C-alpha cells in the first residue's frame, strides 16, 4: 500500500470514529455537542476521501448509514419501506450538478418539475393508518428499524386520530416531520426556566427530546406539530394514486393531514434556485426552523426510474442554508474591511 493511501485510510478511520460519536449524541441522546455545520463539513470530507479511494468504502461507514440505532427502551418497529436520508447540496453549482445528473441518468433533456419543500428541522416520523384509524407511529431510527412512539404521537394535536374522506386506502403510511414552532419553543423554554428544568438548545433538540419520552404525559405538555412530506406503504397496491408527488401531498391533505403551507412546485434547476432564494429571504419570518430546502422530482414515474443509492433517493436533494453561526461569521468577516 502506498504512503498516500495509508494516510487516507487513517484520515477516513478518524473521521468515521468522530462522526459515529456525533451521530450517537445527536440521534440517540438528542444532545449534540457540535454545530450541524461542523458535522456537515466532516461528513463532506469523509465522502470526498471515500470517493477518491472507493476500495475503502465499507457498508458501516457513516457516509453509508442512516440516523442512529433505536433506543432499546422503546418497542422496535421494522419499516416496510426503509426511511432514508437525503443527499446534500451546499451551493447553487451542486444543485445544478444534481439537475444534470438527473438528465444524464434519464438520458433526456426534457424540463424536469420539482416539488420544493422547506426542510423542517425536527425529526422524521412514520404514521400508519388502517381503515382510516391511526394504529402506529414510529421514528426513523437507523432507517430500517425505528422506535414505537404511538402513545406519544397521539398527544400531538394536529395529527388526526382518524382520516376523513372516501378515498382513504385501507392501509396507508404517512411520513413527515415532527417539529416545534419557534413560538412554541420560546414558550417551552420560558416554562422550563421558571421551573428550573432543562433549557433546550434549539427547536430541533426540543422536538426530539419531547417526542422520545417514555412517559406520554410529558410529550403531551410539549408544543409539538407535524407536517406531512411523503407516503410510505399504500395498500391495496392496485389503488390508483395521483401521478405526481405534489398531487399526492394535496390528496393526503384532503384526508385531514397537515401540510406545510410554503411548499411549491418549480420548473427546472433554475426554478429551484429561485425558490431557495425566496425561502432564504423569508426564513426569519417563518414560524418554524428550517435548515434548508428539499427538491424532489415531482413525477412518480421518473422517481421510480431514478431509484436509490445506499442511503438516499437519487431523485431528491436537500440544499442546505449556511448555518446561523456560519452566517454570523460571514457577516463579521464582511464588516472587517
Ligand atoms: P438529512 O439531512 O439527510 O435529511 C433527511 C431528513 O430530512 C428526513 O429524515 C426528515 O427528517 C427531514 N426532512 C425535513 N423536511 C423534509 C421534507 N420536506 N422532505 C423530506 N425530508 C425532510 O437528515 P439526517 O440524515 O437526519 O440528518 C443529517 C443532518 O443532521 C446533518 O446534515 C446534520 O446537519 C445533522 N446532524 C448533526 C449532528 C451534530 O452532531 N450536530 C449529528 C448528526 C446529524
Strand partners, 244: 299
Under 8 Å between Cβ of 77 and 146: yes
Most confident of 58-62, 163-167, 200-204, 246-250: 246-250
Q: Using a pLDDT cut of 90, give the percent of the chain over it.
A: 85
Give the confidence band of 72 by pLDDT, cuts at 50, 70, 90: confident
Q: What angle do CA 314, 286, 138 make, to 5 degrees?
A: 50
pLDDT of residue 329: 44
Residue 6 pLDDT exceeds 80: no
Peptide bond just before 146 cis, omega within 30 deg: no
**pLDDT tens string 213-233:** 999 999 999 999 999 999 999
For range 272-287, the mean pLDDT? 97
CA geometry: angle 100, 101, 106, nearest 5 deg: 100
Q: Is there a contact between 89 and 320 (Cβ–Cβ < 8 Å)? A: yes
Residue 71: pLDDT band by 50, 70, 90 thresholds? confident
CA 85–ligand 1 middle distance (angstroms): 7
Helices (H) and strands (E) in the chain, counts: 11, 11
What does the pLDDT look like over 112-131, one tens digit per residue? Answer: 999 999 999 999 999 999 99
* Ligand 1 lining (C-beta closer than 6 Å): 22-23, 25-26, 32, 34, 36, 39-40, 67, 85-86, 117, 119-120, 123-124, 140, 177, 229, 294, 318
296 noted as active-site residue: no
31 has pLDDT over 90? no
Three-state secondary structure call for residue 7: helix
| Global pTM exceeds 0.80 | yes
Q: In which band, very low, low, confident or very high, does the pLDDT at 136 lie, cut at 50, 70 and 90?
A: very high
Grid cell 459515529 in the structure block, residue: 20
Q: How far is the CA of 84 from the centre of ligand 1 (A)?
A: 10
Tell me how far the alpha carbon of residue 4 lies from the centroid of ligand 1, in angstroms.
33
The C-alpha cell at 55 is 476500495
For ligand 1, atom 33, which residue shows the shortest CA distance?
36
Task: For residue 23, give the nearest of 7, 42, 48 by alpha carbon.
Answer: 42
- The complex's ipTM works out to 0.96
| Whether the Cβ atoms of residue 90 and residue 44 lie closer than 8 Å to each other | yes
Residue whose CA is closest, atom 19 of ligand 1? 229
User: What angle do the packed helices 36-52 and 3-23 form, to 10 degrees?
Assistant: 150
* Residue 191: burial class (beta carbons within 10 Å; 0-12, 13-18, 19+): middle
Three cell numbers, residue 309: 443509492
Does residue 327 surpass a pLDDT of 50?
Answer: no
**Are 228 and 175 spatial neighbours (Cβ–Cβ below 8 Å)?**
yes
pLDDT at 322: 79
Q: Is the pLDDT of residue 333 over 50?
A: no
Q: Looking at residue 323, what is its pLDDT? A: 66
Amino acid at each position: 500500500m502506498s504512503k498516500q493511501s495509508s494516510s487516507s485510510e487513517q484520515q477516513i478511520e478518524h473521521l468515521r470514529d468522530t462522526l459515529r460519536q456525533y451521530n450517537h449524541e445527536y440521534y440517540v441522546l438528542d444532545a449534540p455537542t457540535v454545530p450541524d455545520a461542523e458535522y456537515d463539513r466532516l461528513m463532506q470530507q469523509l465522502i470526498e476521501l471515500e470517493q477518491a479511494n472507493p476500495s475503502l468504502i465499507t457498508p458501516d461507514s457513516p457516509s453509508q448509514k442512516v440516523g442512529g440505532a433505536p433506543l432499546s427502551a422503546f418497542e422496535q418497529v421494522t419499516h416496510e419501506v426503509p426511511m432514508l436520508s437525503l443527499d446534500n447540496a451546499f451551493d447553487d453549482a451542486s444543485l445544478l450538478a444534481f439537475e444534470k445528473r438527473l438528465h444524464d441518468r434519464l438520458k433526456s433533456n426534457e424540463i424536469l418539475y420539482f416539488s420544493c419543500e422547506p426542510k423542517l428541522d425536527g425529526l422524521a416520523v412514520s404514521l400508519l393508518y388502517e381503515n382510516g384509524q391511526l394504529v402506529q407511529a414510529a421514528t426513523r431510527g437507523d432507517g430500517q428499524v425505528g422506535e414505537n412512539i404511538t402513545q406519544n404521537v397521539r398527544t400531538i394535536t394536529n395529527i388526526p386520530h382518524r382520516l376523513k374522506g372516501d378515498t382513504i386506502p385501507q392501509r396507508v403510511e404517512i411520513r413527515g416531520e415532527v417539529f416545534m414552532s419557534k413560538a412554541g419553543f420560546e414558550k417551552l423554554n420560558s416554562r422550563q426556566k421558571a421551573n428550573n428544568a432543562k433549557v433546550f438548545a434549539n427547536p430541533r433538540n426540543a422536538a426530539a427530546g419531547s417526542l422520545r419520552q417514555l412517559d406520554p404525559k410529558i410529550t403531551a405538555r410539549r408544543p409539538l406539530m407535524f407536517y406531512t412530506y411523503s407516503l410510505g406503504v399504500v395498500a391495496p397496491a392496485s389503488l390508483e394514486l395521483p401521478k405526481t408527488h405534489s398531487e399526492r401531498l394535496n390528496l393526503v391533505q384532503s384526508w385531514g393531514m397537515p401540510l406545510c403551507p410554503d411548499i411549491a412546485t418549480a420548473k427546472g434547476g433554475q426554478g429551484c434556485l429561485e425558490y431557495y432564494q425566496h425561502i432564504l429571504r423569508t426564513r426569519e419570518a417563518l414560524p418554524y426552523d428550517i435548515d434548508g430546502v428539499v427538491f424532489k422530482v415531482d413525477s412518480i414515474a421518473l422517481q421510480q426510474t431514478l431509484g436509490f443509492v445506499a442511503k438516499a433517493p437519487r431523485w431528491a436533494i436537500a440544499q442546505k442554508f449556511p448555518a446561523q453561526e456560519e452566517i454570523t461569521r460571514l457577516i463579521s468577516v464582511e464588516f472587517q474591511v
